[in-house]
Amino acid sequence: MNIIKKSALFALASALALSLAGCAGMSQRDQNTAIGAGVGAVGGSVLTGGSALGTVGGAAVGGVVGNQIK
């Protein structure tokens, strides 16, 4: 993986971590959905080598799974 992809992945993970601080006023289900979408996006990006389609697909799947977890 080249330096640009590593930097982009680090920036995405950092943005995710910072955005989770805004979850204080959300319901538990909303928090789970947001966390699932974030984790899915990172996972999809890593598994597909940074593909935009893989990132979006991972976010969608992660959001659905996160929403269904109690």
pLDDT, one tens digit per residue, over 17-41 is 777 677 678 898 998 998 899 899 9
Domain edges within the chain: 3-68
**Six-digit token string for 40:** 């899915």
Q: Higher-confidence residue: 67 or 17?
A: 67
Whole-prediction pTM: 0.66
What is the C-alpha separation between 60 and 38, in angstroms, rounded?
9
Residue 62 near residue 37 (C-beta atoms within 8 A): yes
Burial class, 68, CB count within 10 angstroms (exposed 0-12 / middle 13-18 / buried 19+): exposed
